[in-house]
Amino acid sequence: MHRYFLEIAYKGTRYSGFQIQKNAITIQSEVEKALQIFFKQNIPLTGSSRTDAGVHAKQNYFHFNCNREIITTDIYHLNAILPTDITVKAIVEVTSQAHCRFNAISRVYEYYLYQTKDPFKEDRAWYYPYSVDNSLLSEAAEVLMQYQNFASFSKRNTQVNNYICHIQYSQWSQRQGMMVYSVKANRFLRGMVRGLVGTMLQVARHKITIENFKQVIESGDASKANFATPAHGLFLAEVNFPQDIFFCN
């Protein structure tokens, strides 16, 4: 029996999230259906990072077991079966105990905003036609590096043992006419990136101060954060693994 990591990218606009759900179309349900059609057997998938409804991914992973060797042309055939808004980028054989969720060492999320109306960006970024103080945005992003407990930015309808996240970088930049927030950490809480973005924008619009922002973080109270940030601006950009240990050469 072989174990594989399946790397995918997708536009999440018309899906009810990543993980399989009853009576809903999800990324996992579409990929499992394509695998069943191609391999003529049911192949259950385990996902790496669960994205919410409407969230996109430049890179995400499943792992699965299969009793035959995967060849390059299999990727072509799976992509021919899958909808146009989901693509298989690679299928890589890994060691039998490798787990695409628990062995991930870090993840990178990006959030995109644009301030000039553009119909070609409306489903991939948040139209935000307000004046913002970019220096305050950058300062708020740097403040996050001082903390590890992000309970204030976790939606409460989730099951986690703790709210500790180790952020490796947190920064705002300009990219192709858009404002982009990039954040890398060992793990993320449900709704965390959208909560961070929404609350940092409150700072950048002078609705709260940097000190207020710190107080929100330190309070551990999610009702004080701003989660009114639409899903369609959020991308899971990277999932990183220790390849020399878990991936077969």
Positions annotated as catalytic residues are 52
Question: How does 7-21 read in b/e, with b if 16+ C-beta sit within 10 Å?
Answer: bbbbbbeebbbbbbe
**CB contact burial 216-229 (16+ within 10 A = b; e otherwise):** bbeeeebebbbbeb
Cα dihedral 198/201/202/203 (nearest 10): 130
Straight-line distance from the first to the last Cα atom of the chain, in angstroms, rounded to the nearest whole number? 17
Residues facing 181 on adjacent strands:
111, 172
- Cα(26)–Cα(218) distance, integer angstroms: 35
Q: In whole angstroms, what is the distance from residue 152 CA to residue 216 CA? A: 7
